[in-house]
Amino acid sequence: MKLTTKTSPQRGIKFGKLLRVEQLTALTAELQKLRSNPPLVKRTPGKDEGNILGFVRGLRLSARLIYFLRERLSSTGLEVNWGHLLDQSEESCSPECDVIVHTRGHLREWNGSNNPIMNFKFIEAASVRAVVSCKSLINSVDRRYPKTLKKHGVSDLFLFAECCRESRFQQLHSSAKAAGYRGLWCLYLTQKDGSFQTDESMYAAFGDAVFAAVKD
């Protein structure tokens, strides 16, 4: 089924607010088009051909979110990266962290050499101010992840998804908060008739929430 987008006009929005969410607005349009017109998949027993690897889709979302937060938090002097957290003994790593907001500096960077494709950093857990976990189409909340990161001293953990079903958003948002996340934010919601629902105020609220958590 080909999906359509439902939008409603927004009046009286200040120019500065539009600029702050411009990156997420553009990303929403790109991802909605891809979800509406995914690549054709040829399935043979035990094998899918032609689909986009889930890791690649997720990395695209988290990378664009990193760019958004780098700009939103530019006045704080903090860095935003993808990587692992190292504990105080430097003997144990956290699970992969899609988006890490931290004070300047890292222990090691894996990124090849010139014109790097990968930019993955090992960061001291003590320097972390917040972590954002990214999901594509979210149907459930990972309750173990907040507990694992809490062992590394991460108290400000955010959950950001490309989309979820509109009928489940409030339930998932409540589940996220109960599990230890600051909440759930989505680029857009999907509806039963195959359309999308977007709310740019959610983009601003996400940026503001991360800014408030890390600014001090």
**What is the pLDDT at residue 183?**
97
Question: Which residues of the chain have a pLDDT value below 50?
Answer: 1-5, 7-9
Does the reported pTM lie above 0.85?
yes
Q: What is the DSSP letter of 166?
A: G
Task: Of 147, 145, 100, 108, give the one whose Cα is nearest residue 126.
Answer: 100
Determine the Cα–Cα distance for residues 149 and 181; give it in Å rounded to an integer.
Answer: 11
Percent of the chain that is helix, strand, coil (3-state, to 5): 35, 30, 35
Q: Three-state SS for 108?
A: strand
Task: Of 109, 105, 135, give the one whose Cα is nearest residue 122.
Answer: 109
**What is the pLDDT at residue 4?**
45
Extract the tokens encoding 173. Answer: 């948002």
Determine the Cα–Cα distance for residues 185 and 91; give it in Å rounded to an integer.
Answer: 33
Task: Of 153, 91, 79, give the one whose Cα is nearest residue 121.
Answer: 79
